Structure 1
Amino acid sequence: MPRREMARTPGRDLTSLFDPKSVAVVGASDDPAKYGHAIASQALRAPGRRPVHLVNRRGGTVLGRTAATSVAAIGEPVDLAVISVPGAGFEAAVDDALACGARALVAITAGFAETGAAGLARQHAITARVRDAGAVLVGPNCLGIADNTTELYLASDTFAPGGVALLSQSGNLALELQLRLAPHGSGFSRFVSLGNQADITLVDLVDDCAHHDGTSAIAVYAEDFGDGRAFAEAAAAAGKPVVLLTAGRGTASARSAQSHTGALTTSADVVAAACRDAGVHLVHTPREMTVVLAALDAQRPGAGRRTAILTDGGGHGAIAADAAETAGLDVPELGEGTQNRLRTVLWEQSAVGNPVDLAGMGEQDPRSYAATAGALLATDETDAVLMTGYFGGYAASAGGLGGGGTALSEGEVRAAREIARLRSERPKPLVVQSMYPASPSCRILADAGIPVFGATEDAARALAALTVTEPAGSTGIPPLPPPSVPLTDPGYHSVRTLLAAAGVRFPAAREVTDEAQLLCVAAEFDGPYVLKALHVLHKSDAGGVALRLPDAAALLAAYREMHARLGAPSYSVEAMADLTDGVELIVGVDRDPRFGPVAMVGLGGILTETLHDVAFALAPVPPARAEGLLRGLRTAGLLAGVRGRPAVDIAAAADAVARITEVAAAHPEFAELEVNPLLARPDGVLALDARAVLA
């Protein structure tokens, strides 16, 4: 399993952190260049909520208030201490706060694990003292915390109130999100700078925010998950949307790639799989994070991807349809009944197939937007609606509309109010893209909880965040099985025996080391035979596999040729499987240092790395999820049968995936476990090769 600095304590009480009875700012300063000045200034914004004490070792006054020389000198209980002092005085400040009964510490001071081994040792020692005292610690090397719901302001900046809890390893990113969310009327319930996560971890904070009434969504920027699997488990159990932005996803995990699994698995694959399994919204930029948060803050997700595009111009409609499909949504043609209903509210030249195009009718009667939106929200043929184009611009262009600008502007405002009413009555995801997103009409929509964006791709991404595409019960992190007795021999036949005991079917096979043994094996079962050189990396590429050997003579000849060329210490003689109507799959499990065992399923055989048609999930993979991974492959049509070939037994293949990944998850000594190929046939599956790499 991934290693952590200290074991996490589930369900930790963070009341003293987010709603303390009193606060001390240790290192408070009058010098605007010092962080202690910013923290103290913010802490004093709500002096009526709780006592706020300023501590400076020189005493005197800070920000016009008398400063104590230590926490002990305050003479009153302190529940939470923020420590922003030079590194040399940090331990003493921690001991002072703990001795005075502090239950929570926020450590701004840097110079610990991020500096190397000596700093890490100091961090370990301090964390142990905090935990022994029954307290909690955020940081060190963090930028503070804030909780708008309890008027706790212990960060250098002010965060607009709202429903988003932001847990971030970057202070500047928090400021950017604040700026980007402001036009959408969204803000923050909490902000926590994660720092080094010596004690309180990202997982602890996700757990706590999940139970925080003032938080409706959890936003995370993380460069280091620590225990990534625990994060995924916490996010899956949160019961609230979790949106993740992370860095470094494009680099390959540090490993010796001794198999296809190792060669094909990257950090990006692992994070994406964990997020999908946990139901986390994975985003790639601060802008995308803002878009998703603004959507989730405004509306609740709905089920299904069938999207109706409502536009007032063909160009906007076509672009929106492309953007919707790129975002993973479907834009199906509407049925005859819905099209007929649309024709009753639109004029003859309007397009009603999908996209639905007003074709200029809005300039005659802006209320046609509302009538059309209402019809699309009401039909059972759609799960969501994306409105795109000029709506919001009539008032802005009033002078150029033949004197009718005022009437059009007023009509557009009435249409906006009607759309807001219809959306409240028919709760289906509705997102708007407008050329004039700040117009009065669009402001009415936004105030009613209908997200409005200036960019088409943003509107499509927001709508994708509001649509539930996974069937009920398909997300969640599977529990790890109890560890099994370690396998000390990672040889081919040992791995086969282990998997066979778990119910994975293999052809008959025997290991041989000389010609006499080979001929004895040939007498045990009939040909055709397969001969494999063992202990040879990538046997097929090295010419270490001979297929369809019809009899003992051919088997012996192949053995002599292969042994002269490769000199392998041993060989496997196997019954040749019937490859007719079969599809070769690969099932591999790689042990990620942060997320634990990660499964890979895809098209197998010698073209695995060339085609790169694979899917990932945290292991073990239950059969239903395994079947979903198989059906989601680009080449899934091969499994369903093409050009007269019969369909393979996908359920049996999914069951084999479940058994293989369960074995891998139960053996933490495996760095990798791989079955390639796993032959899927109409009458079941057969594993034709297997290998394991010990950690």
Structure 2
Amino acid sequence: MTAVLPRAGRDADVLFDPSSVAVVGASDDESKYGNWIAVQALRMLGRRPVHLVNRRGGTVLGRPAARSLAELAEPVELVVVAVPAAGFEAAVDDALAAGARAVVGITAGFAELGAEGRALQQRVTERVRSAGAVLLGPNCLGVADSTTGLTLASNPLPSGTVSLLSQSGNMALELSGFLTGHGLGFARFASLGNQADVGVADLIRSCTRHAGTELIAVYCEDFGDGREFTDAAAQARRAGKPVVLLTVGGSAASVRGAASHTGSLTSDSDVIDAACRAAGVYRVATPRELADLAATLRQQGPVEVRRVAVLADGGGHASVAADVTEAAGLAVPEFSPRLSDALRRELPPSAGVRNPIDLAGAGEQDITSFTRVLEVTLAEPDTDAVLMTGYFGGYREYGERLGAGELATAHRIADLVRGQGKPVVVHTMRADSPAARALAERGVPVFGAVEQAARALALLGSAPAPEAPAAVPAPAEPVTDDGYWSSRALFAAAGVPFPDGARVTTAAEAVAAAERIGYPVVLKAEGLLHKSDAGGVALGLSTADELRAALADMHARLRAPGYTVEAMADLRDTVELIAGVRRDPRFGPVVMVGLGGVFTEVLADVAFALAPVDQAGAEQLLRSLRAAALLTGARGRPPVDVPAAARVVATISALAAAHPEIAELEINPLLAAPGRVTALDARIVLADD
């Protein structure tokens, strides 16, 4: 697992503002990384010393090249290593001997290739740490910082206020194109590579401290210590620097690709979503979405958007924009009579004023109507944001006078948006027009497709403020037995309510237990993962004879090591839930709740959160289910005891957090009823040693 800075004397900040730089493996061969990095490095001459190193000496790119770092007359603070894998270890040793505080490993051929490469990577990493230095990579594409003039990436990147931390160099190049389209660029860029030493969490913390960074964009395939990532991202969000994440894990194919790309261990997409919610991280699906959201966040910062007013200069655009906005999960509510009347006073009689707004030709007659209508709409308390769509930007094609008025209107719109404090996004058929460029340059996001604009608004409200983490319990005595009865006892000792029951091995013991508990009873076979499917559960046994017969039949078929006799639960007015925790290799214990019983896998109505959760967090999870109406009373049913169910979820999440030896635990079903909850099954899976 990736180590986390800081250690004594080690600081990731040195990667971005070194006093001097050397490129080991600098080359004249334009097909090699050593050439690409050296070309960019030489752009820094005059700002800091830059040394080129090639084992043959001579000249590289027209400048003298040292044969080794030992030939240099002064220490070098940052060394980029771009040599074949066989020479990487020796090159790192030379860098440390030359006084390097930071090493950037461009070289590939380590953990991504298997055990032997992983061992070499670990050996080199330990040497770097022992020297008090830091290592970025290996298998990375460099580092850059526009605020310090550092240019050690393989390609030039536009300057701006977005810091990008990426495990893919090409992703950075694609993103730079999208950001440039919104008038944005990079404050910093760091290629993560294999994260052998410096990890994504370390770099997020460094960017949080960095005055030139306003937004942190992350493309990550392997989070290393996922809890450190979550903590670092939450700190960044609280510091006013939103984190936007693009990652993989949504398909088996993407997981395979990540494994072959950097030897990455990916996490399930649901787990990543849970981490994002905990940290207030925005999650996007594509590089374009990332750039679109960055532009929208730049305008107003993180805000909650639910109710959107659509402003169009044509009926078709108005209707389509309303449809795509609602399809993105936002509401386009009908305006109040007060707002509709105010809009009617600004527009011709044929205009639409109920939401969406259709200017119905007002733009051609008076281009300033856009500003007046927008001002009235933004002033409405029930309007969270405005999506403007249609032909704005194209009116200049009708003549110089209209074009000049359109450009002036764009300036006034930008000023109005700045003063109102509500998000406004613009879709136009003429996204490259002077008016559209004027809007974008003044911070109003402009899109060439209306669905992009709607999606950007939807994403804007997708990441609430970071959650306050629940207290992590102290480690408990390790569990060594994961049998059903032991699992049940562990849960019960923590306060989870179960029906009265007893473990038995013979018919006589079973009958004695039933007589103590009271008929009817349930008989369960131990040692089965899915008891019901295997015929390991017999319900409603009302007499001793029925119990003996069921036990004989079950034992003949299953030869279970033991059985339990339990009181028959009251099933009236109940909802079956599932509550469980599994341990993710990167993010640790993750709690899951959903509809339980036989519906768990069929309906897949589940919600996830990082464990532990408190009762309030557990209740929020339960109420987020698609079928939450069943819990609160649907179609005349009485509401169930949601707080009691939440207490059980919180209890088992704390139990899992206190027992790192437990890989999975689960209660399915957990019966929720009015005034009570009852656990009917318990399962624990211990982690492999």
What is the TM-score when the length of structure 2 is the normalising length? 0.93
Q: Does the 8 A contact of 1:250 with 1:266 survive in 2?
A: no
Aligned residue identity for 1:432? V
Match of 1:260 in 2: none
Task: Give, in whole Å, the separation in 1 of the partners of 2:361 and 2:622.
Answer: 46
Superimposed CA distance per residue, residues 572-591 of structure 1 (whole angstroms, 9 cap, x where no aligned partner): 11112211111110011121
Which residue matches 2:278?
A: 277
Cα offsets for 1:591-644 (capped at 9, x unmatched): 122222122111111121111111111222222222222112111111111121
2:455 is matched with 461
Residue 72 of structure 1 is matched in structure 2 by 70
Are the equivalent residues in 1 in contact too, given 2:410–2:439 (CA < 8 A)? yes
Please give the alpha-carbon distance, in whole angstroms, between the structure 2 residues aligned to 1:200 and 1:564: 59
AA matched with 1:692: I
Residue matched to 1:53: 51
2:407 to 406, 410, 413: 413
3-state SS in 2 of match to 1:176: helix
Gaps of 5+ in 2: 256-265
- Residue in structure 1 matched with residue 331 of structure 2 by the alignment: 330
Aligned to 2:657: 665
Q: CA deviation at 1:477?
A: 5.2
Deviates more, 1:44-53 or 1:675-684: 44-53
Preserved CA contact (<8 Å) 1:394 1:409: yes
* Secondary structure of the corresponding residue to residue 520 of structure 1: helix
Task: Classify 1:344/1:684 alpha carbon distance in 2 versus 1 (closer, same or farther; 3 Å).
Answer: farther
1:164 and 2:162 matched: yes
Residue aligning to 1:538: 530
In 2, Cα distance between equivalents of 1:566 and 1:91:
58
- The question of 1:28 aligning with 2:20 is answered no
Whether the 8 Å contact between 2:581 and 2:664 is mirrored in structure 1 is: yes
Partner of 1:401: none
Task: Give the drift of 1:8.
Answer: 5.1
Q: Which one-letter code corresponds to 2:489 in the other structure?
A: T
Instruction: Compare 135-144 and 297-306 and name the one that shifted more.
Output: 297-306
Of the three residues 89, 103, 121, the one matched with 1:91 is 89
Q: What is the Cα-based RMSD across aligned positions, in Å?
A: 2.1
* Partner residue in 2 for 1:246: 247
- Runs of 4+ in structure 1 deviating by more than 6 angstroms, as ranges, are none
**What does 1:108-123 align with in structure 2 at a 5 Å threshold?**
108-123=106-121
AA partner of residue 473 (structure 2): P
SS of residue in 2 equivalent to 1:605: coil
Q: Give distance in 2, aligned partners of 1:15 and 1:253.
A: 32
Deviations 1:390-417 (A, max 9, x none): 2211113x1xxxxxx3343233223222
- Other-structure match for 1:689: 681
Q: Which residue of 2 aligns with 1:224?
A: 222
Aligned partners of 1:81 and 1:104 also within 8 Å: yes
Deviation at residue 108 of structure 1 after TM alignment: 1.4
Name the structure 2 match of 1:262.
none
CA–CA distance in structure 2, aligned partners of residues 274 and 251 of structure 1: 20
| Aligned residues of 2:3 and 2:198 also touching (Cα < 8 A) | no
**Cα gap change, 1:357/1:158 in structure 2, threshold over 3 Å: closer, same or farther?**
same
- More moved, 550-559 vs 506-515: 550-559
1:492 deviates by 1.4
**SS of match in other structure, 2:396:** coil
Counterparts in 2 of 1:253 and 1:508: CA distance versus 1, 3 Å: farther
Choose from 636, 652, 670 the match for 1:678.
Answer: 670
**SS class of match (1:114):** helix
Distance between the aligned counterparts of 1:517 and 1:112, measured in 2? Answer: 60
What does residue 261 of structure 2 align with? Answer: none
1:365-412 C-alpha deviation (Å, 9 max, x unpaired) = 22221111111211101111111122211113x1xxxxxx33432332
- How far 1:6 moved relative to its partner? 4.4
Secondary structure of 1:677's counterpart equals: strand
Amino acid at match of 2:350: Q
Per-residue CA shift, 1:146-193, capped at 9, x if unaligned?
111100111121110011111111111111111121111110011111
| Aligned counterparts of 2:53 and 2:190: Cα–Cα separation in 1 | 22
Displacement of 1:232: 2.1
- In structure 2, do the counterparts of structure 1 residues 478 and 244 end up closer, same or farther at CA, with 3 Å as the change threshold? farther
Residues 240-271 of structure 1, C-alpha deviations (whole Å, 9 max, x = no match):
211111223323999xxxxxxxxxx9822222
> CA separation in 2, counterparts of 1:647 and 1:129?
61
- Count of aligned pairs between the two proteins: 673
Compare 428-437 and 330-339 and name the one that shifted more: 330-339
SS class of match (1:339):
helix
Q: Counterpart of 1:415 in structure 2: which amino acid?
A: T
Matched residue of 1:303: which SS? coil
Rate the CA distance shift 1:554–1:360 in 2: closer, same or farther, 3 A. Answer: farther
Task: Provide the C-alpha distance between the structure 2 equivalents of 1:310 and 1:627, rounded to a whole number of angstroms.
Answer: 38
- Give, in angstroms, the shift of residue 293 of structure 1: 2.1
Shift in Å, 1:7: 5.8
Please report how far the alpha carbon of residue 45 of structure 1 lies from its aligned counterpart in structure 2 after TM superposition. Answer: 1.0
**AA aligned opposite 1:313:** G
Residue number among 195, 198, 202 corresponding to 1:197 in the alignment: 195
Q: Which of 583-592 and 521-530 deviates more? A: 521-530
One-letter amino acid of the structure 2 residue matched with residue 283 of structure 1: V
Q: How far apart in 2 are the matches of 1:390 and 1:75?
A: 63
Q: What is the CA–CA distance in structure 1 between the aligned matches of 2:163 and 2:517, rounded to whole Å?
A: 65
2:288 maps to what in 1? Answer: 287
Give, in whole Å, the separation in 1 of the partners of 2:12 and 2:561: 60
Deviation per residue, 1:531-590 (Å, 9 max, x gap) = 212212211122222223334444334333333343323221111221111111001112
Separation in 2, partners of 1:689, 1:432: 54
1:296 touches 1:465 (CA, 8 Å); kept in 2? no
Residue 212 of structure 1: how far off its partner (Å): 1.0
- After the TM superposition, which of the residue ranges 562-571 and 118-127 deviates more from structure 2? 562-571
Q: 1:666 to 1:305 in 2, by over 3 A?
A: same
CA offset at residue 140 of structure 1?
1.5
Aligned mates of 2:44, 2:254 — CA distance in 1: 46
Shift in alpha-carbon separation, 1:325–1:484, aligned structure 2, 3 A: farther
Aligned to 2:317: 316
Distance in 1 (CA, whole Å) between partners of 2:54 and 2:562 is 74
Q: Residue type of the partner of 1:82?
A: V
Change (3 A) 1:148 1:27: same
For residues 71 and 84 of structure 1, what CA distance do their matches in structure 2 show? 14
1:19 to 17, 20, 33: 17
Shift of residue 344, structure 1, vs aligned partner: 2.0
Percent identity among equivalent residues?
A: 60
Look up the SS of the partner of 1:44 in the other structure.
helix
Change in CA separation of 1:360 and 1:624 when aligned onto 2, cut-off 3 Å: farther
In the TM superposition, 1:146-161 aligns within 5 A as 146-161=144-159
Which range is displaced more, 494-503 or 130-139?
Answer: 494-503
How far apart, in 1, do the equivalents of 2:451 and 2:468 lie? 29
Match of residue 576 from structure 2 = 584
Among 589, 596, 599, the alignment partner of 2:591 is 599
TM-score, normalised relative to structure 1: 0.93
- Counterpart in the other structure of 1:402: none
Within 5 Å, give how 1:601-680 maps onto structure 2: 601-680=593-672
State the distance in 1 between where 2:4 and 2:144 align. Answer: 26
Greater mean deviation of Cα atoms: 270-279 or 129-138: 270-279
In structure 2, what is the equivalent of residue 508 of structure 1?
500
Contact between 2:439 and 2:446, CA under 8 Å: does it hold in 1?
yes
Partner deviation per Cα, 1:651-676 (whole Å, 9 max, x = no partner): 22112111111112221222210101
**Structure 1, unaligned stretches of length 5 or more?**
255-264, 399-404
Q: Look up the match of 2:263.
A: none
Question: Quick check: 1:504–1:687 contact (8 Å CA) kept in 2?
Answer: yes
Q: CA contact under 8 A between 2:267 and 2:586: conserved in structure 1?
A: no
Classify 1:450/1:85 alpha carbon distance in 2 versus 1 (closer, same or farther; 3 Å).
same
* Larger CA deviation: 233-242 vs 147-156: 233-242
Contact 2:5 2:11 in 1 (8 A): no
1:453 deviates by: 0.3
Contact kept, 8 Å, 1:232 with 1:477, in 2: the verdict is no
Q: Say if 1:589 and 1:674, in contact at 8 Å, map to a contact too.
A: yes
Q: What are the equivalent positions in structure 2 for 1:126-145 lying under 5 Å apart?
A: 126-145=124-143
- Offset of 1:9 from its aligned partner? 4.0
SS of 2:306 mapped into structure 1: coil
CA distance in 2, matches of 1:363, 1:292: 31
1:398-447 CA distance string (max 9 Å, x none): 1xxxxxx3343233223222211211211111111111111111122112
Structure 1 pair 279–87 and aligned structure 2 pair: CA distance change class (3 A): same
Structure 2: how far apart are the matches of 1:551 and 1:101? Answer: 83
1:279–1:476 CA contact under 8 A, matched in 2:
no
Shift in CA distance, 192/673, structure 1 to aligned 2, threshold 3 Å: same
Shift of the 230–478 alpha-carbon distance from structure 1 to 2, 3 Å rule, reads farther
Q: Which stretch of structure 1 is more off in the superposition, 591-600 or 225-234?
A: 225-234
